[in-house]
A and B are shown apart, each in its own frame.
Chain A
Amino acid sequence: MSITVIAIGFVAMLFLMFLSMPVAVAILSVGGIGGYLAYGMPLVQTMGGVVWGTLNNPVMTAIPLFMLLGELLLRGGIADKMFDALAVWLGRLPGGLLHTNIGTCALFSATSGSSVATAATVGTIALPALGERNYPVRPSLGTLAAGGTLGILIPPSVNLLVYGSLANVSVGQLFIAGVLPGLILTLLFMAYVAFAYPDAGRDGPQIDVPAAEKRRLLRHLVPPAVIFGIVMGSIYGGLATPTESAALGVMAAFYFVWRNGRLKWALLETCFIQSARTTGMVILVIVCALLLNVTLSMTGGTQAVTRWVTELGLSQTMLLLLFVLFYVILGMFMDAMSMLVLTVPIAVPMVTALGVDPIWFGVFVVVMCEIGLITPPVGMNLFVVQGVRKGGGDFKDVIWGSVPFVIIMIVFAALLILVPGIAMLLPDLAAGR
């Protein structure tokens, strides 16, 4: 198979996707028809076995379990109180409650897994509080939109799980690799806020919270901290696989929801429906992308891509910088999950041919997906934050408020390219390297 055929297939997929066909259909049409044209029915007939092999896989089970975990934390009201707790602890920093926006969104989205739920919950609490205290509008909105992107990198992350399934790399290692970059990016956002808006909120009414109350509010951070500790601790310590850690997390979440007095059948039913819905949406595209992978590898497509990229004579850094450009543009028009399934099967063989570690690349791609969440015209978080504004207002405020964070993320991606250790340090340490 030549690189031209692959390019035609890629464009055909993009065309079907932009025609608003289900993404799974777009991928499978190209994979199925491509396989049939190349090898006829024998290749197509192997696909049933691939579907069974893809689904009958304990790693795939981690997806609904993490979804269920997020739903329980969100709808059980465990995540709702985080803003209050962080507000009293971070509000004193230069930049005030803007840090609380970033911190709460990072924590909340890491546990809930849904950008929409994060922005809806945090935005509803934060925006009135920020308005009352005269915080400038654009950074208030920008910190919410950008903070909400952090959760897809900070584990447990469904995006990393999807990348792991598509690229066939260890999800445990990906999760460990995501921790440090997620933390550094959060700190970079906060450093920007502290430098750019040192006096934000200072001219508004100041609320003094007694030290005892501050300590009391800390208890709201205990459940998310415990769950993060269980999930990541068990993976990092080699005690459990991602699926097992997700199951332990779900059990802990059940306990916290029960202790909150919210363990009711109606809540469970909502959690089941929501997690099943998103699981169905994610797993169907994974199954179709893996079927496309079969066509790609059987027809020599993977080798063609690798050969092509080697013949181009690009350096590793140059190729990755081109990927930054490619993903930033693609992210303007596409959601994170579609970007992953469309590009990972082709991009991973390309970069590994030039010696890039696929675990590192997973972190890099997810940072690129994060940028896509806040770049117009299709930056989902921008719309969500705009939707949460009670009094309405100009959509441009959200866009301009997010621009500095897009720049920070692009700079961070460049930093990740120059210092790959940011992502690889923890996986290397965990593996005793």
Chain B
Amino acid sequence: MQTYSRICAVVFGLMMTALCVVISVETMLRKIFNHSLAGVDELSGYAIAIGAPLCFTIAAIEQSHIRINLLHMRMPPRARAALNLLAALTLAALALYLAYFTTRTVLETRLFGSIAQTPWMTPLIWPQAAWMIGMMVFTFSTVFLAARAVLFAIRRDTEGLLREFGPDSVEDELAAELSDLEERA
């Protein structure tokens, strides 16, 4: 899963870097040479629509989706494991819910042949199809994670549920930052 998350991150990062180059060139051309490359705004909208589901996926794999662990951390291990299982299942349900509406929207776009109200007049089916693929990646990942959590539960592996599905704590994040700091030094 870590490799998978890394691939998503690299795709997203390169996409954002390329976008920065395009936006910077456009802004300079517009301000200095009074010449605008129309459509960069539209492009950046598509980039985030397609990239965001990849980011949701990475956050899901790294257990970084925000959870409030005030009570969680004070509970006995079995209760914490049960809540981790429930959190994994509900996140998968959320992804399925979003995937359902994404698919509906894309099917409607195809049915009506919708076109963006912009100078490019992009047929929306193209960016939306890419968006849908991103959402499917997110859904597949969360369903996979939820299945893994259920498997741990069937095996009564409390330790596994605590280790792999616990909320990202400040302590973990700090430890990662400190080790990165050492490497930088």
Residues of A within 8 A of B (CB): 17-25, 28-29, 32, 45, 47-49, 51-52, 55-58, 60-61, 63-65, 68, 75, 77, 80, 116-117, 119-121, 124, 234, 239-240, 243-244, 246-248, 250-251, 268-273, 275-281, 283-285, 287-288, 333-335, 337-338, 377-378, 380, 383-384, 387-388
Contact = CB atoms under 8 A, between A and B. Distances in A.
B83 to A, nearest CB: 5
B68 A23 contact: yes
Nearest to B75: A20
B68 A17 contact: yes
Contact of B181 (A17, A124, A278, A283): A124
Interface string B67-91: 1111110000000000100110011
Given A56-B127, A68-B16, A384-B170, A244 B104 contact: no
Contacts of A64: 12, 16, 48, 51, 55
A334 B67 CA distance: 10
B110 to A, nearest CB: 13
Contact of A55 (B70, B131, B174): B131
A278 B57 CA distance: 11
A338 B171 CA distance: 19
29 contacts: A19-B71, A20-B67, A20-B71, A22-B67, A22-B90, A23-B65, A25-B93, A48-B102, A48-B105, A49-B105, A55-B52, A56-B46, A60-B48, A65-B20, A68-B20, A116-B170, A124-B181, A243-B44, A248-B24, A251-B20, A269-B9, A277-B9, A277-B62, A281-B55, A337-B66, A338-B68, A378-B70, A383-B174, A384-B170
B66 A28 contact: no
Given A270-B180, A280-B57, A52 B105 contact: yes
A279 B55 contact: yes
Given A280-B52, A280-B55, A28 B97 contact: yes
B21 interface: yes
Given A63-B48, A244-B26, A285-B66, 15 more contacts: A23-B67, A24-B94, A25-B94, A47-B101, A48-B103, A57-B45, A77-B184, A120-B174, A244-B24, A272-B12, A277-B58, A277-B59, A277-B62, A280-B52, A281-B66
B52 A117 contact: no
A247 to B, nearest CB: 4
B174 A283 contact: no
B178 A124 contact: yes
B150 interface: no
B120 to A, nearest CB: 13
Nearest to A333: B70
Interface in B21-69: 21, 23-24, 26-27, 31, 41, 44-49, 51-52, 54-60, 62, 64-69
B33 to A, nearest CB: 14
A25 B177 contact: no
- Taking residues whose C-beta sits less than 8 angstroms from the other chain, chain B's interface range is 35 or more
A275 B19 CA distance: 15
A20 B27 contact: no
Contacts of B60: 280
**Which residue, B20, B49, B56, B91, has most C-beta atoms of chain A within 10 A?**
B20
Contact of B64 (A243, A251, A280, A388): A280
**Which residue, A17, A18, A51, A119, has most C-beta atoms of chain B within 10 A?**
A51
B8 interface: yes
Contact of A75 (B21, B27, B102, B184): B184
Contacts of A63: 48
Chain B interface SS verdict (over half): helix
Given A21-B86, A380-B170, A116 B69 contact: no
Given A124-B178, A251-B21, A276-B13, A21 B90 contact: yes
Contacts of A68: 13, 16-17, 20
Contacts of B131: 52, 55-56
Contacts of A55: 45, 48-49, 52, 131
B136 to A, nearest CB: 14
Given A120-B177, A248-B24, A251-B24, A22 B94 contact: yes
B156 interface: no
B19 A247 contact: yes
A116 B68 contact: no
Contact of B69 (A20, A28, A388): A20
**Which residue, B62, B108, B170, has most C-beta atoms of chain A within 10 A?**
B170
A323 B103 CA distance: 41
B58 A280 contact: yes
B175 to A, nearest CB: 8
Contacts of A275: 13, 16
A45 B170 contact: no
Contacts of A334: 68
**Which residue, A22, A23, A119, A121, has most C-beta atoms of chain B within 10 A?**
A22
Given A273-B5, A384-B170, A51 B101 contact: yes
A33 B46 CA distance: 29
Given A55-B49, A124-B178, A284 B170 contact: no
Given A269-B6, A383-B171, A276 B27 contact: no
Contacts of B180: 75, 270
Interface string B110-142: 000000000000000001100100000000000
B19 A22 contact: no
Given A28-B94, A61-B47, A272-B12, A18 B27 contact: no
A276 B128 CA distance: 20
A55 B124 CA distance: 14
